[in-house]
Every structure is written in C-alpha cells, then in structure tokens.
C-alpha cells in the first residue's frame, strides 16, 4: 500500500482540510493515498489561495508535495 | 354440519397454508435523516479511561468456524493477561484495543466481547465454544413447526440460525449497545453476493443503504458474517433511498472518477457505489470469508483512508499495533510426494481454499508493508520499533516506541 506525502505550509499552525475533512495540521507531513484532492485550511479564512486542487502522486517521504498558503492581513 | 373436529382440522390446515406467507426475515430500519456524528461508526465511540489514542491497537479475527472463535478467544485471554505501561499508566493490553475486524467464526468472539466485555471470560465458553450449536441448528431445522416458516420465500435457514444466536448467545442485543459500550469498534465483515464484494456492518455502509444500524440485531450481522455457503442461506438487507442530507465520505467524489481507476480508493469507491445505486434494492450477504477470510481489508481501508489514517495525520496515533489472528490450518504438503494425482475431494477442497488463502496472504503482506514503510525494526529490542517523525519542519528527532512484550 503505497503512500503519498503532502505538506501544507502556512505561517501559523492551522487545520488542514482535505476534501472538507480535518486531516492534520499545517507544516507537518500528511500521508494520503495517491489521487486528486482539494486542500484548504480551517478557520479563520485569512489565507490565500482559497484552496489547492492537487493530483498527489510520485512523492516520497523526503520529497513531499508542498502547497503554500499565505496569510492575508 | 361440520363437526368440531373437522373445524379444527380445517383451521390447522388453513394456518399451515397461510403461515409461510407470514414468515419474513427481520428487515433493517430505514433512516430518515443523515447525521455523520451519530450511529455506529468509529468517531462516535467513547474511549474508556484506560484506552489511549497514542497506542492504537487493532485485532483481526479470521474465519474458520468454532476453531477460529476459540483461537480468537484464547488471544483475548492473552491480551487480558498482558500488562503494559503506556504514558506511565499500567494497564492490560486488552484495554488498549481500539478496533476488532472479524470474519465468520471470529465474529462470534468479537461481537460477544464488544457487547458483554469481561463476560467473555466468564460464560462465552459455555454459551458458545463448548456448545453444539450445529446440533441446535439441526434440531430447529427438523422441528415440524419450523417447516411452515421455512416454506416462505422470505424466511430461510439463516433467519432461524440468527434467531438461535439472538436468543441463546447475544441476548437480543442491537448495535446501539455496541455503540454505548464504546471502543473497541467491532467491524463484522460479510460478503455481498450480488457484486462479490466485502460488506461491513458499520453505519458508513448503512448510510449508503439509507438505513439505521443501531436498531439492527447484532446476531443477524454475526449470522451474515458466518453464513457458510450451502449449509446456510444469505441474510438479506433492504437498500432504501438515501436519508435526507446524506453526504458521501470525504474521499469518495474524487476516488470514483475514471482518472482514479489505478488507485485502491477507486475500488473502495466502486464498492460504496453499489449501495448508492438504488436499482439494487436488496443486498444478500453471506460468509465474510468469501471476500476476505482474515478481516484485514477493513483495517487496510481504515489505514488507507479511514479512521486510522485521519488519526495518524492528526498526530494522535504514536504507536500502531495490528494483530492478525488467523485460524487457518496447514498440513504438511503430502501431494507433492505422491505420484498418484489427488482425488476428487482433495481437488474440491483445494478449489475452495487456494484462492482464499492466497488473498489472505496478500492481505497480510499489505498490512506488513503498511507498517514497515513507516517503521524500521530496532535490532536491540525484539518488538520495539523506531519510527521516523512525520514532521518536515522540525528538527528530525526520533520517536521511540516502548517495547511491548507479548507472550504467545
């Protein structure tokens, strides 16, 4: 059972939502099955972009897919 | 004028003709409103004070009739006798069990522990293991009173077996009692004969059926899980329209797309889609061993995209222990030492078991892979594992799991 790796970067610790499901926190490596996902963050909604649509594949523990959210002041 | 005797005979004959029409299997209840936070699902179960999330233990009980039930019972005794220390607290390893996935004979032990806990060690042997359940079933089958009921197309041997289990073993318990008891989450596995796929008695499956599991008898789920082909008949469920407000699981929408066809979750999504197709109005379930004889697939699903996966990613699970209790017997290969080709019965037995055994082997290999991609054995301690942290931004500190000594 191969796993893929994803990190959602954000200046603060925030919930990472995968397809609307709480799946972990920002700046930590998440393990998921390969496939298409919608990645967004939990409240408050002070981040950009609103979401990432990713096709998670060909990653490794040392080279995860990284998506970066920026904080909107 | 008819005599009283003739009237009695006429009434009895009429009753005998009409009774079959009355006998019907117990139908699962329809669900009106969907609520993802209720029903028999892992997330709704409470933990006892002695159960931590950091050490997460899942057991898998295989099929194999009473032998499997007895073996899994023995393992439960060992787990009960095994004292461990987690976060400075001493407890039994059994207290840390979070889920039990079971098939066929193993489902009796799993369901009994889920419902009655410590009573398993007090009366399960007398009520099930040492009892001639097969004889009791045969006794019911040969009772003329039941012949009329069995003549109904909607009532069969499995319904009679479920009645026996319900009365004599499971005290008419329903899934709401399993839910009230909290962890471990007992997953009773059966096989959907319509699509040859695994079916488990959890609210997630019943959500797709537009049905409520909490009011369903545990005995019927165990009967489905252990409905050995030919001897017993399938358990049937009704597939209702979806409850209002139903949402598919978080992984489903993208997994069902053709682009995902190479992934395992595509297969899981296809499995769920069977019940979302309301043309499939009835589900007929038989022995879970037909689709997974060791109960590993539901744990693999939970590890891939279910309650284990979310807890790993959320950082709640620090140590994961998976224990497969496989009651398979394997005699020494004598066939390869004999020039004479195997006889009819040997070939028939092989035809029934070879595919199943290979699938079980594949399931266990997947479980091992799942663990070993995360951990590497530490040579100095027999069962201790050293895992890599799942943080990329923190300094790479190693998490060391406490050694667990299991006498087996």
SS (H, E, C) B327-361: CCCCCCCCHHHCCCCCCHHHHHHHHHHHHHHHHHH
A65 CB neighbours in chain B (<8 A) are: none
What chain B residue is nearest to A61 in terms of C-alpha separation?
B390
Closest-CA distance, B285 to chain A, in angstroms, reads 28
State the CB neighbour count (10 A cutoff) for residue A44: 8
Element (H or E) spanning B138, and its range? helix B133-141
Q: What is the pLDDT along chain B (408 residues), one digit of tens a residue?
A: 567 777 777 776 666 555 555 788 999 999 999 999 999 999 999 998 899 989 999 999 999 999 999 999 999 999 999 999 988 889 999 999 999 999 999 999 999 999 999 999 999 999 999 999 989 999 988 888 888 888 888 899 999 999 999 999 999 999 999 999 999 999 999 999 999 999 999 999 999 999 999 999 999 999 999 998 888 999 999 999 999 999 999 989 888 988 888 888 898 899 999 999 999 999 999 999 999 999 999 999 999 999 999 999 999 998 899 999 999 887 778 888 888 888 988 888 888 888 888 888 888 888 888 877 776 555 544 444 444 333 333 333 332 323 333 332
pLDDT at B233: 93
Question: CA–CA separation, B242 vs B31, rounded Å?
Answer: 8
Question: Touching check for A63 and chain B: CB below 8 Å?
Answer: no
How many angstroms separate the CA atoms of A14 and A24, rounded? Answer: 9
* Binary contact (B250, A1; C-beta < 8 A): no
- The single-letter DSSP state of residue A36 is E
Q: Cis (ω within 30 of 0) for the bond into A49?
A: yes
Torsion of CA B95, B101, B102, B108, to 10 degrees: 40
Residue to substitute from A1, A2, A15, A40, interface B, most B β-carbons within 10 A: A1
Strands (E), B181-258: 185-192, 197-200, 211-212, 235-238
What's the half-sphere exposure (Cβ side, CA atoms, 13 Å) at B212? 15
Does A44 sit behind a cis peptide bond, omega within 30 degrees of 0 on the bond before it?
yes
**In a 10 Å sphere around its CB, with 0-12 CB exposed, 13-18 middle and 19+ buried, how is residue B355 labelled?**
exposed
For residue B239, how far is the Cα from the chain centroid?
Answer: 20
pLDDT of residue B166: 97
Nearest-Cα residue of chain B relative to residue A34:
B263
> What's residue B223's pLDDT?
97
ipTM: 0.92
In whole angstroms, what separates CA B381 from the centre of its chain? 33
pLDDT of residue B15: 60
Residues in chain B closer than 8 A to A40 (CB atoms): none
Both tokens of B32, joined, read 């009106």
- pLDDT of B394 reads 35
Chain A: closest CA distance from residue B91 (Å): 29
Q: Tell me the shortest Cα–Cα distance from A46 to chain B, in angstroms.
A: 22
Q: Is the CB of residue A1 less than 8 Å away from at least one CB of chain B? A: yes
Token look-up 């398993």 returns B120
B75 in Cβ contact with B36 (< 8 Å): no
Average pLDDT, chain A: 93
* B255: nearest CB among A27, A35, A61: A35
> Hey, what are B222's tokens?
């165990």
**What is the least distance, in Å, from the CA of A73 to any CA of chain B?**
24
Contact yes or no for A21 and B390 at CB 8 A? no
All residues of chain A having their beta carbon less than 8 Å from the beta carbon of residue B265 are 33, 35
Q: Are B49 and B86 in contact (CB under 8 A)?
A: no
Interface test with A, best of B250, B296, B373 (most A CBs within 10 A): B250
CB neighbour class for B398 (10 Å; exposed up to 12, middle 13-18, buried from 19): exposed
B314 neighbourhood in chain A, CB within 8 Å: 22-25
């Amino acid at each position: 059972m191969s796993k893929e790796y994803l990190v959602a970067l954000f200046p603060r610790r925030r919930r990472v939502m995968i397809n609307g499901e709480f799946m972990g926190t920002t700046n930590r490596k998440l393990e998921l099955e390969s496939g298409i996902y919608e990645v967004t963050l939990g409240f408050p909604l002070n981040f950009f972009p609103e979401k990432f649509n990713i096709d998670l594949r060909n990653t490794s523990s040392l080279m995860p897919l990284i998506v970066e959210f920026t904080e909107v002041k | 004028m008819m005599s009283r005797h003739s009237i009695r005979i006429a009434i009895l004959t009429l009753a005998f003709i009409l009774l079959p029409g009355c006998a019907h299997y117990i139908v699962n209840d329809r669900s009106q409103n969907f609520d993802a936070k209720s029903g028999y699902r892992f997330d709704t179960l409470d933990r006892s004070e002695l159960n931590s999330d950091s050490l997460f233990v899942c057991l898998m009980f295989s099929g194999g009739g009473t032998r499997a039930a007895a073996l899994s019972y023995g393992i439960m005794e060992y787990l009960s006798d095994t004292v461990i220390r987690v976060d400075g607290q001493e407890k039994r390893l059994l207290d840390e069990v979070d889920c039990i996935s079971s098939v066929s004979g193993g489902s009796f032990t799993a369901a009994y522990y889920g419902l009655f806990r410590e009573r398993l060690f007090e009366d399960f042997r007398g009520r099930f293991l040492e009892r001639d359940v097969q004889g009791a079933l045969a006794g019911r089958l040969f009772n003329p009173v039941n012949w009329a009921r069995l003549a109904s197309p909607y009532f069969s041997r499995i319904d009679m077996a479920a009645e026996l289990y319900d009365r004599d073993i499971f005290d008419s318990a329903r899934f709401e009692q399993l839910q009230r008891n909290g962890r471990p989450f007992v997953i009773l596995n059966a096989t959907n004969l319509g699509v040859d796929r695994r079916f488990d008695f959890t609210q997630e499956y019943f959500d797709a059926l537009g049905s409520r599991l909490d009011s369903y008898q545990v005995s019927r789920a165990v009967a489905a899980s252990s409905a050995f082909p030919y001897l017993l008949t399938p358990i049937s469920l009704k597939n209702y329209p979806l409850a209002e407000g139903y949402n598919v699981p978080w992984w489903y929408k993208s997994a069902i797309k053709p682009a995902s066809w190479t992934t395992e979750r595509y297969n899981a999504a296809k499995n769920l889609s069977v019940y979302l197709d309301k043309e499939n109005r009835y589900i007929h379930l038989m022995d879970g061993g037909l689709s997974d004889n060791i109960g590993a697939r539901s744990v693999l699903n939970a590890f891939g995209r279910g309650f284990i996966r979310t807890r790993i990613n959320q950082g709640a699970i620090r140590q994961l222990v998976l224990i497969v209790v496989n009651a398979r017997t394997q005699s020494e290969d004598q066939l390869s030492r004999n020039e004479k080709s195997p006889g009819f019965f040997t070939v028939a037995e092989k035809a029934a078991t070879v595919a199943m055994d290979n699938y079980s082997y594949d399931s266990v290999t997947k479980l091992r892979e799942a663990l070993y991609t995360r951990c590497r054995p530490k040579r100095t301690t027999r069962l201790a594992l050293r895992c890599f942290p799942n943080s990329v931004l923190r300094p790479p500190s190693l998490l060391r799991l406490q050694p667990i000594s299991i006498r087996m």
